[in-house]
Amino acid sequence: MSERAKAARRVLTEFTYEPAMPQKGYTGRTLYVNLSDATIRAKEVTEEMKEKFIGGRGFGLWYLWHGVEGDTKWDDPENEIVISSGPCGGITQYPGSGKSLVVSISPLTEVVIDSNVGGHFGPLLKFAGWDAMEIQGKADSDVIVYIDGTTGRVTIEEAPDVPVDSHKVGHWLIEDMAETEEDRYYMSAVAAGSGAEHSRFGCLNFSFYDRRRKEPRFKQAGRGGIGTVFRDKGIKALVVKTDPVRGDSNHPADPERISRVGVKMHKEIHDYDAEQCRMRYRGTTYLVQIMNDYDLLPTHNFQYGSHPDAPKINGEVWENRFTQGIPDGCWYGCTMACSHAVDGYELRTGPYQGETVIVDGPEYETLGGCGSNCGIFEPWAVMEINFYCDTYGLDTISFGTGTAFVMECYERGILDQEKTGGLELNFGNAEAALELLHQVGRGEGFGLIFGQGIRRMKDIFVEEFGADRAFLEDIGMEAKGLEYSEYVTKESLAQQGGYGLSNKGPQHDEAWLIFMDMVNNQIPTFEDKAEALHYFPMWRTWFGLCGFCKVLWNDITPPDNDMTEEPAKIPEHVQNYVEVFAGVTGREVTREDLITQSERIYQFQRVFNIRLGHGLRDHDAVPYRSQGPVTVEEYESRQERYDTQLRGDLGLDPTGMTTEEKVAALREYREDQYEQLIDAVYKRRGWTQNGVPKPETLAKLGMDYPEMLAVIEPHL
């Protein structure tokens, strides 16, 4: 650390410990930090935790459950931020093994949020000696928490010299905190930003040092406002430093088993990525064109699924903008390398106007949310929004979906310039979207209302602007209080459930079933859809227990995958994970065991939501915009499709019906379909028809803890 950095800070608390590397994926200890009374201590990770909660999101939920009460709010000191990677997190041989999960009570949903993120913090935290970090309390003034795994010292320090915005924190880390170039390799920071202070959808940035660019890079724990909690606790940054990472730092039970399957996967990516998704060249941006082609790309606040200008922001464009030939993995050994960046971007607006920066991304969700959904098809604008959302610590999905919502409200006269403080929020107005973003960063004007998120904006627009509640409920794309991620679900009932029946809110990392359902018609019945809405959410949950990235499961497929019995599951890749999990932990498992591991956590989280006052059937409601056409113009834009459904599924003759009548008839049908889907899914998940996990479901999984049964009992 530089003398300047030392002089500027005052250590409030120091805690020393014996650094110990993980054994078979676990260090056996969690770092507990309470900012209210400035205490730091170690907690034991028990065998029961490893067996039933595995790690990552499981550990986060475990600690949060024990740290809060049923009436704890997001900004109560008892609320926690728990960061944990998982037993396989930090291995380098299998690509996509550096993820962390962050868990907290969300300012948007008021229930548990879990958000997954790359970057080096989680793995380095473990190599500094900690399976998880549990942060509780609130600091009186802004602090950093510094975990020095090289000396075994953790400190809470007053940090007046530390910036707030993430890209500045990244530079502070490598310039002030790191003493040598090599220090930079094995340090990582977590930061939020000024926007997180003025909104409910603050995100966390997890840094990693890019050895080729010699710059800090970031990945985001975007969803649910954990950055807001972070700043509310008075944290400017978490910093970790370790000794050099080695191939065996995680001390797995059977390194050879992991290496064998890891090399196989590297080679599969080498051989097939270029002809499949081209993730190594364009990252997730490849999805823009596909979604547009299938009428799934959200456009103008999810009214439509395609736009003639979509090719202006598609994967081909970004392949040209992203610097090529750099191994852009967000953890060592990720040859999928989808963490691309635009180098040398000169900012045109805001407090950092004129600065030349690296834009981490854009990724698909940012393009869908801040691009097409807002009618913005200018690459510079999406890059500018992307950069500022990141450095202000704002989730690009909530920002994009929220901006699309206020743009539609503006175009329909619900908002006007008087109400927005002069912002002309028409679809496509990139300058207005950017000014709105800077207002959130500064905590000013309409930005403060906007920062509350869609659910609370609806209340404000009804109460203060006299808006029609029912219409806002139809077009405000949030469920459980969380803004939708960027897929149009109108023609996929299963994905309506994939979003609506998720624990944390509508986020695609739990289920993405649109192609299985809508395109390939592989799950035609309610029971088929319910089975998919059991298996896939459980399977996708599993990545976040162990430290894995989902992308390596299905954004590349073995060439013979289509010949397998269940190609949607990609059985060979699932088996890879069996091998890696067993190779790390020494615990032999089957593919089915992985689902059981997840189901324990999934049911636990559902009960946790109920404990926090939500989580019942009414909590799984979705806005009608996600189910079908709300307006006449939406209907008429795809009239042939909808008329065909009226004839075929409803037995109605649309001839002679007004569009309003057709909208109403289709709506009645589709809403009923969703309710029938809920019935089937609850049955498959072992829940009552009110969405409550049954005691026998919990017992079967060994999760019938008395405190969980006490939560569900009043609802049975």
Chain residues binding another protein by CB under 8 A are 92-93, 95, 185, 211-212, 244-248, 255-256, 259, 262-270, 325-327, 329, 332-335
The reply to whether omega before 362 is within 30° of 0 (cis) is yes
- Quote the least distance from Cβ 534 to another protein, whole Å: 34
161, 164, 165, 167 alpha-carbon torsion, rounded to 10°: 40
CA distances 478 to 109, 280, 666, Å, are: 10, 32, 21
Q: Which is nearer to another protein, 332 or 536 (CB)?
A: 332
| Three-state DSSP class for residue 15 | strand
Of 331, 339, 233, the closest CA to residue 283 belongs to 339
Of 309, 302, 310, the closest CA to residue 491 belongs to 302
- Quote the least distance from Cβ 264 to another protein, whole Å: 6
Q: Which is nearer to another protein, 250 or 396 (CB)?
A: 250
Contact assessment for residue 650 and residue 665, using Cβ atoms and an 8 Å cutoff: yes
Q: Which residue has the tokens 């950017």?
A: 434
Contact assessment for residue 430 and residue 375, using Cβ atoms and an 8 Å cutoff: no
Burial class of residue 520 in the structure, from the number of CB atoms within 10 Å of its CB (0-12 exposed, 13-18 middle, 19+ buried): exposed
- Quote the least distance from Cβ 208 to another protein, whole Å: 10
CA distances 33 to 15, 27, 30, 55, 137, Å, are: 10, 17, 10, 18, 8
Q: Which is nearer to another protein, 100 or 249 (CB)?
A: 249
- How far is 712 from 316, CA to CA, in rounded Å? 51
Residue 64 backbone dihedrals phi, psi, to 5 degrees: -65, -45
Q: Which residue has the tokens 């807001």?
A: 228
Q: Which is nearer to another protein, 60 or 89 (CB)?
A: 89
**Cβ atoms < 10 Å from Cβ of 466:** 8
Q: Which is nearer to another protein, 212 or 647 (CB)?
A: 212
Contact assessment for residue 298 and residue 403, using Cβ atoms and an 8 Å cutoff: no
Q: How many Å is the Cα radius of gyration of the chain? A: 24
Contact assessment for residue 94 and residue 335, using Cβ atoms and an 8 Å cutoff: no
Contact assessment for residue 495 and residue 517, using Cβ atoms and an 8 Å cutoff: yes
- Quote the least distance from Cβ 214 to another protein, whole Å: 11
Q: Which is nearer to another protein, 228 or 339 (CB)?
A: 339
- Quote the least distance from Cβ 154 to another protein, whole Å: 25
- Quote the least distance from Cβ 244 to another protein, whole Å: 7
- Quote the least distance from Cβ 205 to another protein, whole Å: 20
Q: Which is nearer to another protein, 265 or 406 (CB)?
A: 265
> What one-character DSSP code corresponds to residue 503?
S
- Quote the least distance from Cβ 328 to another protein, whole Å: 9
- Quote the least distance from Cβ 260 to another protein, whole Å: 8
Please give the biggest Cα pair distance in the chain. Answer: 80
- Quote the least distance from Cβ 304 to another protein, whole Å: 40
Q: Which is nearer to another protein, 244 or 422 (CB)?
A: 244
Residues in a beta bridge with 101: 84, 116
Q: Which is nearer to another protein, 333 or 629 (CB)?
A: 333
Q: Which is nearer to another protein, 140 or 256 (CB)?
A: 256
- Quote the least distance from Cβ 498 to another protein, whole Å: 33
Q: Which is nearer to another protein, 73 or 246 (CB)?
A: 246
